[in-house]
């Protein structure tokens, strides 16, 4: 029977959900329905949620899994009465840390995901604007200000990766598409002239041609652009250029944007302007 997991918080619920999903992902053979319940910050809301949890237990025939990051002790006490298997993140980890550090936690709701310092917030905004302004080779004259320049064939994941790097780490990421316009007369892909002076900032993305064809088919069905032959040719030429020019690259086929970005940072040593929330 499928199980239900509740991620509960008196804030956004991002921490409870992130930790909960990471834990439950280790149990591939169990079907788990995941529900995030943010802003459970009053006793009335807590009691209402307990009623939902109890009804879920009856429906499933199994007690739900409850993972919470509730700060308020009274609200937490209400949730604790619910019929479920409870993983209380704060009480599990904060108490031992208080003992180790010799001080009490501030127990502040939403502290992890608050805007916090103005300079960090503005770094995030500027980095996102930079990624948008320099998407798809739009403004190559700003490449001297880029921390990294992602290159690759169309629809291999450059834009979402650039935006994730900006939003989560404050990294100024530009991206440039490799197209037929960058080929020699013999059809060989060459490094675009506009990128030549920025080779030390380049990072390539590649993708399985079958996956690329499927993605492009959603955009332009039954076109040369989405044909298997075209996708295979473009990917092969891009990878050959990466190797010839000693440009580091990663295959995005089976990785999430989070994994792509983290691997990229680890390989290049990019400086994070702030840590992700």
Give yes or no for a contact between 149 and 176, defined as CB atoms under 8 angstroms apart: yes
Q: Across residues 66-75, what is the average pLDDT?
A: 91
Picking from 174, 175, 171, 178, the residue whose alpha carbon sits closest to that of residue 262 is 171
What value does the mean pLDDT of the chain take?
Answer: 90
Residues at the binding site are 152-159
State the pLDDT at residue 114. 46
73-83: average pLDDT = 93
**Residue 111 pLDDT exceeds 60:** no
- Each residue of 216-274: pLDDT tens digit? 999 999 999 999 999 999 999 999 999 999 999 999 999 999 999 999 999 999 988 87
pLDDT tens digit sequence for 167-216: 889 999 999 999 999 999 888 999 999 999 999 999 999 999 999 999 99
Helices (H), 178-227: 193-196, 209-219
User: Per-residue confidence at 73, pLDDT binned at 50, 70, 90?
Assistant: confident
Model confidence at 159: pLDDT above 80: yes
27, exposed or middle or buried, with CB in 10 Å at 0-12, 13-18, 19+?
exposed
| Residue 107 pLDDT | 56
The per-residue pLDDT for 55 is: 97
Question: Which positions make up the binding site for ADP?
Answer: 152-159
pLDDT tens sequence across 30-44: 999 999 999 999 999
Q: Domain spans of the chain?
A: 3-101, 117-268
DSSP β-bridge partners for residue 125: none
Q: Look up residue 143 and give its two tokens.
A: 């490449």
Model confidence at 14: pLDDT above 90: no
Cα separation, 205 vs 7, in Å, equals: 34
pLDDT at residue 275 is higher than 70: no
CATH placement of domain 117-268: 3.40.50
**Bigger pLDDT: 18 vs 79:** 79
Tell me how long the chain is.
Answer: 277
Contacts of 178 (CB under 8 A, 6+ apart): 151, 152, 153, 189, 192, 234, 237, 238, 241
Tokens of 33: 């329905």
H or E, element range at 8: strand 3-8
Over pLDDT 70: what percentage of the chain? 94
Q: Which tokens is 80 given?
A: 């604790």
pLDDT at 113 over 60: no
- The Cα-based distances of 32 to 40, 65, 84, 217 in angstroms read 22, 9, 14, 32
Identify the H or E element spanning 133. Answer: helix 118-133
Tokens describing residue 5: 């997991």
| Distances in whole angstroms, Cα of residue 89 to Cα of each of 19, 35, 239 | 9, 17, 44
Instruction: Specify the pLDDT at position 115.
Output: 46
Give me the half-sphere count of Cα atoms (radius 13 Å) on the Cβ side of residue 107.
12
> 140 falls in which pLDDT band (50, 70, 90)?
very high
| Chain centre to alpha carbon of residue 117 | 22
| Angular region, 100: left φ>0, alpha ψ -120 to 50, beta rest | alpha
Q: How many CB atoms lie within 10 A of CB 25?
A: 9
Quick one: pLDDT at residue 117?
56
Pairing of strands 32-37, 202-206: unpaired
- Residue 81, CA distances (Å) to 46, 47, 53, 90, 177 in order: 10, 10, 10, 17, 55
């Amino acid at each position: 029977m499928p199980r239900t997991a509740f991620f509960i918080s008196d804030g956004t619920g991002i921490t409870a959900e992130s930790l909960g999903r990471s834990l439950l992902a280790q149990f591939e053979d169990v079907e788990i329905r995941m529900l995030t319940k943010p802003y459970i910050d009053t006793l009335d809301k807590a009691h209402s949620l307990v009623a939902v949890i109890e009804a879920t237990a009856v429906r499933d025939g199994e007690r739900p899994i409850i993972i919470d990051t509730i700060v308020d002790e009274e609200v937490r006490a209400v949730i604790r009465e619910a019929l479920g298997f409870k993983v209380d993140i704060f009480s599990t980890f904060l108490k031992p840390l208080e003992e180790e550090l010799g001080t009490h936690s501030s127990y502040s709701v939403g502290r992890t995901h608050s805007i916090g310092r103005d300079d960090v917030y503005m770094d995030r905004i500027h980095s996102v604007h930079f990624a948008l302004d320099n998407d798809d080779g739009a403004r190559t004259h700003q490449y001297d200000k880029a921390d990294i320049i992602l290159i690759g064939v169309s629809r291999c994941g450059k834009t979402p990766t650039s935006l994730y790097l900006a939003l989560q780490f404050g990294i100024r990421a530009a991206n440039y598409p490799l197209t037929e316009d960058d080929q020699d007369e013999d059809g060989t892909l060459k490094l675009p002239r506009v990128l030549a002076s920025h080779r030390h900032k380049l990072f390539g993305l590649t993708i399985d041609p079958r996956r690329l064809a499927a993605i492009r088919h959603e955009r332009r069905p039954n076109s040369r652009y989405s044909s298997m032959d075209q996708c295979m040719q473009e990917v092969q030429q891009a990878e050959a250029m990466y190797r010839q020019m000693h440009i580091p690259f990663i295959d995005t086929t089976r990785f999430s944007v989070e994994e792509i970005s983290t691997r990229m940072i680890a390989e290049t040593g990019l400086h994070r302007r702030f840590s992700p929330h």
